[in-house]
């Protein structure tokens, strides 16, 4: 594409969402169609209650997802294994070799929603991580320290320094995705690390900085973990996402919670971007004059990292504004989408 020419449509291979919360039961049925409309595949997070820690529970969850798909939808869920101190390397390898597990997810214990069963000390998981490095299986990391003495806005940068950099040094061949990168520190680390390290970037972290959470009052629907950071970090994320580098790819971290759990004295973390995710990313790439790199970020870099073929089908987006719904009906209560009630400048044809 020539610089200065603003196309009104863009056609790319069908994208995938490399980080997604689908939940279960009635909530799964309410949110899944929004993702399946836009994405061919998604890496499905295992933080259910109880969490998805073995092959049997992942197979059962995958079946519930497939059963919840609208008729005619073409969507493949890629399952993940929730890492605990007690995870068996043989189970992880068997799940990977039988195409049940696409990856393993590491939540530091108590870092976020449903992470109580997460890892208390990464040293305890080294036998699993060594096995994964040997078989080429990706480790997906929620990169925040849980030390309450560390300022919440510093928890990602401190995790990189204390845990992620040493892990990458000791197992440089282990494929790692630093999920939902929120800082310039994360961008710098991923760029300077070897080819085994990549990051996903959410739509909301490209759009909001931490001021948005406090704009005119407390905005619980803009609260997620890792929490949005200051403006310099948002700009670093925009540069990384639109750089054309294979190391950064699309992962929405769409994380629905009923409105009554968000608008509460102790509101849940999570932003529900699924209803307009691809369109919001397209708007960001347009704003950055980088629509020519949108396909790399949304549809090519992720499959390349995971060793999967890119999708054959295509999707066309048109510059045409539409209003994101204010509410999505769900049980046990409706969910508020990110940018609900606001206009988005691109639309899927």
Please give the positions annotated as active site.
253
Quick check: 15 binds ligand DOR (CB under 6 A)?
no
Closest to Zn ion by CB, 159 vs 346, is 159
Q: How near is the Cβ of 224 to ligand DOR at its closest, in Å?
A: 3
Total binding residues for ligand DOR by CB under 6 A? 10
Sign of CA dihedral 186, 188, 190, 194: negative
Closest to ligand DOR by CB, 168 vs 180, is 180
The pair of three-digit structure tokens given for residue 251, joined into one six-digit string:
């992962």
Q: How far apart are CA 93 and CA 134, in angstroms?
A: 10
Among positions 278-307, residues that touch ligand DOR (CB under 6 A) are none
The pair of three-digit structure tokens given for residue 10, joined into one six-digit string:
């863009």
Quick check: 21 binds ligand DOR (CB under 6 A)?
yes
Closest to Zn ion by CB, 133 vs 190, is 190
Quick check: 203 binds ligand DOR (CB under 6 A)?
no
Quick check: 109 binds ligand DOR (CB under 6 A)?
no
* Residue whose tokens read 């499959």: 303
Quick check: 54 binds Zn ion (CB under 5 A)?
no
Quick check: 253 binds Zn ion (CB under 5 A)?
yes
Quick check: 213 binds ligand DOR (CB under 6 A)?
no
Task: From the list ligand DOR, Zn ion, none, pick the one residue 220 interacts with, judged by a Cβ distance below 5 to 8 Å according to partner type.
Answer: none
Q: How far apart are CA 250 and CA 274, in angstroms?
A: 12
Quick check: 51 binds ligand DOR (CB under 6 A)?
no
Closest to ligand DOR by CB, 113 vs 243, is 113
Closest to ligand DOR by CB, 193 vs 224, is 224
Quick check: 113 binds ligand DOR (CB under 6 A)?
yes
Beta sheet of 41-44, edge-to-edge order: 17-20, 41-44, 76-82, 101-106, 139-141, 176-178, 197-201, 248-250
- Which listed residue (10, 48, 250, 255) binds ligand DOR by CB under 6 A? 255
Binding segment toward Zn ion, per CB under 5 A, in 127-135, 157-165, 198-206, 247-255 = 247-255
In Å, what is the CA distance from 1 to each residue of 7, 290, 349?
A: 9, 9, 21
Q: How far apart are CA 101 and CA 96, in angstroms?
A: 5
Among positions 215-244, residues that touch ligand DOR (CB under 6 A) are 224-225
Binding site for Zn ion (CB under 5 A): 253
Binding site for ligand DOR (CB under 6 A): 21, 47, 112-113, 142, 224-225, 255, 269-270
């Amino acid at each position: 594409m020539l610089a200065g020419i603003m196309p009104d449509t863009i056609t790319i291979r069908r994208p995938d969402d490399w980080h997604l919360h689908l939940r279960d039961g009635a909530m799964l049925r309410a949110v899944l169609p929004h993702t399946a409309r836009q994405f061919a595949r998604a890496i499905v997070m295992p933080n259910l209650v109880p969490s998805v820690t073995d092959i049997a529970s992942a197979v059962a969850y995958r079946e519930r997802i497939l059963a919840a798909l609208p008729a005619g939808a073409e969507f493949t869920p890629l399952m993940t294994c929730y890492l605990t101190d007690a995870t068996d390397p043989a189970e992880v390898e068997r799940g990977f070799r039988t195409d049940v597990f696409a990856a393993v997810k590491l939540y530091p214990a108590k870092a976020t929603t449903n992470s109580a069963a997460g890892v208390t000390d990464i040293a305890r998981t080294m036998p699993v991580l060594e096995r994964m490095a040997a078989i080429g299986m990706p480790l997906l990391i929620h990169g925040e320290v849980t030390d309450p003495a560390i300022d919440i806005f510093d928890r990602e940068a401190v995790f990189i320094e204390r845990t992620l950099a040493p892990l990458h040094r000791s197992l440089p061949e282990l494929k790692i995705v630093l999920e939902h990168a929120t800082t310039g520190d994360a961008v710098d680390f991923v760029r300077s690390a070897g080819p085994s390290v990549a990051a996903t970037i959410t739509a909301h972290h490209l759009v909001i900085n931490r001021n948005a959470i406090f704009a005119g009052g407390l905005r619980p629907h803009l609260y997620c973990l890792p929490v949005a950071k200051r403006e310099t970090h948002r700009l670093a994320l925009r540069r990384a996402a639109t750089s054309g580098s294979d190391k950064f790819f699309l992962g929405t971290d769409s994380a629905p919670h009923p409105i009554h759990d968000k608008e509460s004295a102790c509101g849940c973390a999570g932003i529900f971007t699924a209803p307009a995710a691809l369109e919001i990313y397209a708007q960001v790439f347009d704003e950055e004059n980088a629509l020519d790199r949108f396909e790399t970020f949304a549809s090519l870099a992720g499959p390349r990292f995971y060793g999967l073929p890119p999708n054959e089908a295509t999707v066309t987006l048109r510059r045409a504004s539409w209003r994101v719904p204010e509410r999505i009906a769900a049980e046990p209560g409706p969910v508020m989408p990110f940018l609900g009630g606001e206009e988005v400048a691109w639309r899927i044809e």
